[in-house]
Amino acid sequence: MAFLPLPPPAPARSAATPAVSARHHGGRTAPELSGPTPRVVVVTSGKGGVGKTTTTANLAASLARLSLPAVAVDADAGLRNLDLLLGLENRVHLTAADVLAGDCRLDQALVRHRALQDLHLLCLSKPRSKLPLAFGSKTLTWVADALRRAPNPPAFILIDCPAGVDAGFVTAIAPAEEAVLVTTPDITALRDADRVAGLLECDGIKDIKIIVNRVRPDLVKGEDMMSALDVQEMLGLPLLGVVPEDAEVIRSTNRGVPLVLNDPPTPAGLALEQATWRLVERDAMTAVMVEEQERPKKKGGFFSFFSR
């Protein structure tokens, strides 16, 4: 099976493309890329509806703004949504399934973002269609290998994993070396996240970091919601980011424009941009919110079922 290389590197960013702000990163304008490239990162959750696809879209857009070429892969074979969040729903005509069937080249299936020249989208298949069983769980492994061999490979391959832990999950995590586990601070999402973390580790993925999404500091302070620190302690994983509840997420989704492109930045967009910097540098959060520091330590075994 032959794949043609990626398109040549994008030209310099135009003046119309939003620039990355340095004021929230100690005056630096770009993070230091850690490790060999391309880095293959799966964004997963287990439970649906926690913001996994929104996270993938914004991480990919942030990477492109940092001039780090990224390919965002929608690995949901029947219910793709990543194209909607990136505003590319009318431009996806060919998919990875077409490439693997020999109907087109890989570079033809990659859709370049209009505003972010370093961002490409690749969908696994067309909406409401199933991936042929003959492709098996190695589908994305073949695609990732082809991108690695390209003369101009991307710096990151971000795989938007479907919800659940069935065959789609197995296909999505197969080529990954790192994982971003997205969860919300509620017990149903956390139980699923804990299960997924165990499956990732069993598959050999040891570099797993968590993003806690839809956090409300007012509820955390009133002890009506678990804090990011609670979540981190329960899952026992490094913290990549904490994203607050933000009404702008719905507007951003409906417009097909990632939050990180908003100017001025929204709280959620800023948190996702900061998470991208940590991802690039293989860093993790060490600071906790003031509300978390002030809260008394809870006693008891209410979450004792979280064990692997």
Which residue ranges are tagged as binding site for ATP?
Answer: 47-54
Q: For residue 71, report the phi and psi dihedrals to the nearest 5 degrees.
A: -110, 115
Residues 6+ apart with CB under 8 A from 34: 280, 281, 282
Closest CA to 226 of 208, 204, 242, 240: 242
E strands along the chain, which residues?
A: 39-44, 70-74, 111-112, 119-123, 156-160, 178-183, 207-215, 239-244
Please, are residues 39 and 178 in contact by the beta-carbon 8 Å criterion? yes
Find out whether 91 and 111 touch, Cβ atoms under 8 Å.
yes
No. of helices (H) and no. of strands (E), the chain: 12, 8
